[in-house]
Structure 1
């Protein structure tokens, strides 16, 4: 006979229990906030704008994209090793000069040069499923759904490529996305940007343009971000919210009475989030810079 002992479920580890408790608390808190907000009448002039990296999704979306493309042999480790080091040095030390910034901008999306828009969109769908879908913060997703349920439109606003931003928005059932636009000719990427990265002040300009076109009253709108760099966007709206904020944004939010929602688990996770954001950005920038250098060499 089979011993009953073999059928007994193994006790959960303390770390697993803590993680389950954290997720349960996160879901409950988000649900309570949603239920309260749903009693507010719909306002056609209001909308919500969400940053993506570390706000909607854990980590940097362009990092997940670059890693997925690397696995599909878009480039090699050797191509990016030196560039990653340089990017990490500048980002972590906080030392940047105009020449470095210009180089970063010019090479930001060069790793897709020569590939087609259709190819990137198809692979982006695959990469979302394998690397991004499970990284969506449930609490942030619940907040976005709250706005949709109130009859509001919801846009993602991110420095990530517009193709990836649009995939994320579509998979989450959102209205749309605004992201960095890469130049393409006859459906083939040139490796150059149209304008600049959608970052910092550029996000605010994009939102103002959209609001004018869609008849939105920004004082009735909400914006969500994790980064102090998004103050131009957050400062535009009547309801700015700090999600998983970096230390500077957390301090600013508290000083100005903004809502703060942190879906990370514990202080260790918060510290890791700050460092991983810098490293992910370094890798993403390094990927672009490395491939750009390789193409110039060839």
Structure 2
């Protein structure tokens, strides 16, 4: 893979962000954008344990998708206090994602404000994501192809991004939002996934208090180098093409996939994974034996 470093700036004005990053749809890391937030000095795993320790949280791991899996159905549950203790004790694959602050811990709203980057942020969808050392997300893009601001806290997280223009090289699984689950994007096997060699993307490592802007529909893979968590705020896609694709994903693709899982079971999942390989290799002129 050809991965460029994501540009970094310490501070940014609204006009500079819009003109240099939003309009051309380029990612950027803002290093000192939230130092005035109470969260900057307060938010770490111990604080989350204190304010949300008694809440039962849904946990997800990296097991392959099965036809019986419901949409965003958790693989396990435990109290937040137990989960934080687990994160700090040993590596674990269990992650939390799309954990709504407004619904679960309203008091956390006092610790942050909605920054004015020139985009209208959806104030009802501040989401938290947690992970243990070496846990990771599959390479995916969000169903609504939103503009995403990803605020990281406590520890370090590796991030790899690709624009939608690189999709044909990423072994995308049909009728889904993910690439083939067997790919280790931190250390890809190019003999097995040869099309990835020509994929052009971006890489960075996020530390406490840094903010990553991910443009509309960007593929993203995230790996926790240490236990930590992040919050995402989002703004609707502006591109008519991306809005149309988001509508298709939400109102058609998702339900079609659920229907096919019910009708064909695991055969549907296995077919999709095989198609991800054959379609990508064919589009990139790679012989079947590769």
Q: Into which bin does the TM-score normalised by the smaller protein fall?
A: under 0.3
Q: Give the TM-score taking structure 2 as reference length.
A: 0.24
The structure in which a higher percent of residues are strand is 2
Structure ID, larger Rg? 1
Q: Give the TM-score taking structure 1 as reference length.
A: 0.24
